[in-house]
Amino acid sequence: MLNVTVKKEIINQIGRLDYEHQRRVLDFVRALAVTNPKGVPGKQLLSFAGTFPADDLKVMKQAIEDSCEKVNLNEW
């Protein structure tokens, strides 16, 4: 449950922002609300070790390095 004092301060600070920044805060809050996934302990995943062919792992690694490890400094 949200602390009333924190909620009031958030509302106060958001009220000082222009529309575009308020939209960014809203997008951020929505992202926070969905980024709390439940997972499984790593031990439970060990049974999958070695099940991917080495060539497939190389392709996945290259795709990650090419696309996922880039930061767009102007995104936020």
Q: What is the pLDDT of residues 31-42, one digit of tens each?
A: 888 866 678 888
pTM: 0.43
**Least confident piece of the model among 22-26, 35-39, 46-50, 55-59:** 35-39
In a domain, residue 2? The reply is yes
Buried (b) or exposed (e) across 12-25, using 16+ Cβ within 10 A?
eeeeeeeeeeeeee
Over 60: is that where the pLDDT of 1 sits? no
In a domain, residue 29? The reply is yes
Q: What domain count does the chain have?
A: 1
Structural domain boundaries enclosing 26? 1-36
In a domain, residue 6? The reply is yes
pLDDT at 39: 83
C-alpha 25/C-alpha 1 separation (Å) is 19
